[in-house]
Chains A and B, each alone.
Chain A
Amino acid sequence: MAKALFANPLFKFLAVVAAPVAALLYIYIGVAEYYQIVVVMFMINVILTASLNITNGFAGIFSMGQAGFMGIGAYAGSLLTMTAELKFSRIPGIPAWLAEAHLPFIPALVAAGLAGAAVAVVFGFPVLRAKGHYLAVMTLGMIIIIKAVLDNNAHLTNGAKGISGMERFSTLPMVFAVMIVSLFVLHRMTKSAFGRSMAAIRSDADAAASLGINATKYRMTAFVVSAFFGAVGGSLWAHLQQTIAPSLFYFKESFSILEMSVLGGMGTLSGAFPGAAIVTFLPQFLANAENGFRVFGFTVPALNGLSNIVMSVIFILVIIRWRGGVMRSSEYIVDAMFGRDTWAGLLRKETYVDFWNILREGLFKNNNPHRLEEKSKQEEKDHEKENR
């Protein structure tokens, strides 16, 4: 029953498109700003996680350096959207050409992404020569280098003191639009010949090479694309928090993106949603745990750091329960969002009839089991085909 329901285009539309959009609309117009801030943080985290999944999940490049690209994007984006006057006052010694450079938010966002991509090209040559653990450690080195550069070029970045005073461009509609566009681009990429080649390289680079796939080129492309969207996420982050400093884009942030990626499922873009949801929303709910709370009749006393402990325990439980991440390798959410199946299915009459039948069966136990079972089998097959 559930399978048939989940495969139904109308259900996909309602669950993945209509309900979330309605919820977002409600949050945007109906409730206090706090909820908007948290949802914007969530959506930025989705972009960051999805961008990391391109390297870590799809291309098999286990990078731990996403915060570095995020930092590049945050600085590049902020330096472009701030006014010359503000830059002169906040960044002593800034060269005039950089101070005068000013772009509207969206071009600045693209420029920030390109800056991240350019940095990825530079690092890509040495880093992508390594594999596995060695590569991962090299990406850690990469964030150390990026931070050192941001720290020590005070005439461009104001050094470790950071910059503040950017305008709050990262509004809910803006970040939502950027998230949808980013996911769409990444989704198309993973479904294209490029995506298939990445999968081939990930499972066996030598075999892929024997088929004429240029592994170096694809790995580099994946790394650069991932950096582009990581930097876009960083720029959005900067224009939400309105304060940036090199120390904010360091190990902690990098591991936090990695956490989201692993919790949600590295090998799928859809994993970005549950992963980012857990890491973004949990600390918000647990923020008052420090004051002590009651759970199942037990009283937990007030204790400094309790929220961190509770969060860690939940992370461990999630990983134990869902090895391979909440979504494992399912691309349900993103497929349902952009799949032709969803949108074309909405135009078919059977979609609605089936939806009604499934609902009726579920609600009233009014069985016409034979027909439905067959139908669901067929649909499962379709779905599997699509996933493959």
Chain B
Amino acid sequence: MKKKIVSTIMAALLAALALAGCSSPSGGAGTATGNGSAEAPAGGSSSEAATPADGGTIIVGGLWQTTGFMADYEIPGSEGFQLAVDEINAAGGIDGKQIEYVFYNGQSELDLNSSLIAKLIDVDGAKVVAGLGDPNSAIASGTVAQSKGVATLATSSTLPYTQERVGDTAFLVPFGDNIQAYAAAEYAYKDLGLHTAYVVTDSTDEYTLSLSKFFSEHFTNLGGEIIGEATYDDNGYTDFSPAIQKVKALDAEPDALFFASFTEQGPPILKQFRDAGLGQPVFSGDGLDSVEIAEIAGEAANNTYFTTHVDYTESNSKVTDFLAAYTEKYGAEPANAFAALGYDAAYLIKYAIETNGNGDTSAEGIKNALDKVTDFEGVTGTISYANGHVPNKTVYICEFKDGTKVNLLSVVPEV
């Protein structure tokens, strides 16, 4: 009897395995016919002639990490994107075509992302994909999209050399880490007159490593001195005493601290440094952009400066309209700037197609249209892809003050 059950299951599994191969293509084929032959790029454009005539739709993919370590950034991003898609569709779509939005959760896992982006493109027929998660996942899934000639808009990866690694279909909505770290270095050195800095880096991620590398580089170029460095190498790290001991062992305390960290480490690292009597100004990148850090760490978060993508207190109508719409839809203000980046990504697609697309909504057409984008005005600033696919955007410098986030100034960096 036992054997029978085992064998039956086995057979069922085999059948499922076989079916996984056989049944799914029928679903896929349905979509595939819509965009001509998915494999041949030439076929894609030839079938486009039919699309504008019937009004039609534009299939847009979203690959957001709504769980896992990127969820802090990508849930707001996904919400912002969804909001913009709804608005665009309600207002008549892009060039009269409705957006058909398909969204998957990549779970902050690289292999899931790189396969799901293939699903978005091959099966669902997405012509452009937004989201993509952390830099490594964005590179892996971007590479898949590149091989299929589909443009990707990364909203949370700020890796400046994404285009170099992936190819010409990779676009960044935010600025690169070099720009934000340079802005932080300039603010620390020039505006606050701080001349020595100690750098603490989460050594598990491309983002944090690049951030501290660019900060150190620029701070030194300006004439400052990096008097020491410490790293921690676990995303779940909560004990920063080794780094604190290293700072305390220095002959002279540094004027400033630079933390290249993710949101999760924000409260513990700030609290532990402050408790140890290290009250220096702390600088960081957009990884620390979260009001929650100020709420949790309280006073310990004071005197902390970070760079980010948007100033929600600006009276600019783009920002106020976005805030009102977001708050209405989700019942609370966005937790960080990534909501605005997601929102901008959708409007950027619309802007590119309407301005430069000439009615071509094939994957190749959208990619070329994005390539020509200059002066797109979004919530997070102005985007141009004229000099590469990492926009040179305004950097906003913020400060935590008694449990809140205060916007100090905006910098338009020179590259």
Interface of A toward B, CB cutoff 8 Å: 2-3, 6, 15-16, 19-20, 22-24, 26-27, 30-35, 37-39, 41, 147-148, 151, 159-162, 164-165, 168, 237, 240-243, 245-248, 252, 270, 273-274, 277, 281, 283-284, 287-288, 290-291, 304-305, 307-308, 322, 326-328, 330, 332-333, 380, 383
Q: Mark B36-66, 1 if CB is under 8 A from A, else 0.
A: 0011000000000000000000000000001
Pair B22/A305 contact, Cβ less than 8 Å: no
* B115 proximal to A (CB < 8 A): yes
Closest to A291 in B: B103
* B119 proximal to A (CB < 8 A): yes
- Closest 5 CB pairs between A and B? A32-B122, A23-B21, A34-B118, A31-B25, A34-B122
Pair A304/B122 contact, Cβ less than 8 Å: no
Q: Which of A6, A38, A248 makes the CB contact (< 8 A) with B115? A: A38
What's the nearest-Cβ distance from chain A to residue B229, in Å?
Answer: 13
Pair A332/B6 contact, Cβ less than 8 Å: yes
Q: Please judge, given known A-B contacts A32-B123, A34-B123, A304-B67, whether A20 and B18 are in contact too, CB under 8 Å.
A: yes
Chain B: interface residue count, which band? Answer: 35 or more
Q: Please judge, given known A-B contacts A19-B18, A148-B233, A248-B110, whether A242 and B143 are in contact too, CB under 8 Å.
A: yes
Pair A243/B209 contact, Cβ less than 8 Å: no
What's the nearest-Cβ distance from chain B to residue A111, in Å?
Answer: 23
Pair B67/A305 contact, Cβ less than 8 Å: yes
* Chain B neighbourhood of A22, CB < 8 A: 18
* B17 proximal to A (CB < 8 A): yes
A80 to B83, CA, bound (A): 46
* B246 proximal to A (CB < 8 A): no
Pair B136/A248 contact, Cβ less than 8 Å: yes
Closest to A40 in B: B115
* Chain B neighbourhood of A287, CB < 8 A: 104-105, 112, 116, 119
A34 to B8, CA, bound (A): 29
A274 to B7, CA, bound (A): 12
A361 to B140, CA, bound (A): 53
Can you report 20 A-B residue pairs in the complex whose CB atoms are below 8 A from each other?
A: A2-B8, A3-B3, A26-B25, A31-B28, A34-B121, A35-B21, A37-B144, A147-B233, A151-B204, A151-B233, A241-B114, A270-B10, A274-B10, A288-B104, A290-B103, A304-B105, A305-B105, A307-B105, A308-B107, A332-B10
Pair B11/A6 contact, Cβ less than 8 Å: yes
Chain B positions 139-158 with a Cβ under 8 Å from a chain A Cβ: 139-140, 143-144, 147-148
* Chain B neighbourhood of A19, CB < 8 A: 14, 18
* B335 proximal to A (CB < 8 A): no
Pair B143/A328 contact, Cβ less than 8 Å: no
